Amino acid sequence: MPEESVPDIDVFLSGLLFFDLVFTGLEHPPAPGTEVWTGGMGSGPGGIANFAVALSRLGLRTSLAAAFGTDVYGRYCWDVLSRQENIDLSRSRRFPEWHSPVTVSLAYAGDRAMVTHGHPPPVPVAELAGCPPRSRATVAHIGLDTAEWVHTAHQAGSLVFADVGWDPSETWSATLLDQLACCHAFLPNDVEAMRYTRTDTPEAALARLADHVPVAVITRGAAGVLAVDGTTGETADIPALPVNVLDATGAGDVFGAGFVAATLTGWPLADRLRFAGLTASLSVQHFGGALAAPGWHEIAEWHARTRLPDYAFLDDVLPAETIAETSRRGPVTLGFGDDSWR
């Protein structure tokens, strides 16, 4: 690609942003009429911000279109994303008198349960995205009627990486799969994949998804990840790295960001999955979603410490000397030790 045609943005995202409040160290969820004390707590931007921060910390030029409130939660999230994480928010908007969505995440038993309060943004997310800027990749949340901006990004040559959320109606309409026609890759978890494809195993779901999208990836938590790349003929079944999970909030988004970064690097499918799994495994050992995402410094430290043969491909992207840290973990509690967001 000629230099003048290279997009100014590596990855463009648009979606709902939340303020996350995370409690960790729970042995079990609280029962009605009781109070449970927990050993850890963190807070930070969540939702689409998990993906955006993880991408930026991997050195990708990241642009986000999202709605922000002007309340304390929205101001904090805007400051963290723009000033600390160097994410372009030129297509995002702040809305007075709109309450920022807030999610409380309870981490226990190696997973998490969430409670969210929120109202629809004053302007639809699709309107914020508008005609998306040229980018090497696009991250989108697909639905039964995927927004026009996603199709526009695809037609402009951007690789569209799609995920999907839990269907609260639990109808799991199979027509959603028709929306994958504009996507390069689809990254659901095993439950979502089996429900939408009406199959009984992740392997059967993967085969069905491969009929709809060039690259299908199914995450299975501690069981690892399955994938097929129809553009190269590669298939892979990669085990998860064994780690002690402190907080799984946002781990799927961090995995997706790692997979996007590895795809743009041009690695084989197995290495793309290993890298994505590594970024997710490093994130779940810290509080929160977005602010738990690792940067290259942390990846380099892990690689130097473990030297696992399957991750030798990292030698090609990590210099022998210690990498200067390009991102820092933010305070784990809103405003703690830093009033710059006020």
pLDDT at res. 330: 54
**Average pLDDT estimate for 312-327:** 68
- Among 120, 118, 76, 67, CA closest to 94: 67
**Average pLDDT estimate for 46-52:** 94
| pLDDT, tens digit (0-9, with 9 covering 90-100), for 4-22 | 567 889 999 999 999 999 8
Let me know if 187 is exposed, middle or buried by CB neighbors in 10 A (0-12, 13-18, 19+). buried
| pLDDT, tens digit (0-9, with 9 covering 90-100), for 190-233 | 999 999 999 999 999 999 999 999 999 999 988 999 999 999 99
- The conformational region for residue 280 under phi > 0 = left, psi -120 to 50 = alpha, else beta, is alpha
Report whether pLDDT(38) > 90: no
Q: How far apart are CA 290 and CA 202, in angstroms?
A: 27
Is domain 9-30+37-316 classified as CATH 3.60.21.10? Answer: no
Higher per-residue confidence, 43 vs 338: 43
Number of C-beta neighbours around residue 173 at 10 A: 13
pLDDT at res. 247: 76
**Average pLDDT estimate for 82-89:** 96
Tell me the one-letter amino acid at 75: R
**Average pLDDT estimate for 118-147:** 90
CA 305 to each of CA 66, 226, 256, 276, 292: distance values in angstroms, whole numbers, following the listed order:
38, 27, 24, 18, 20
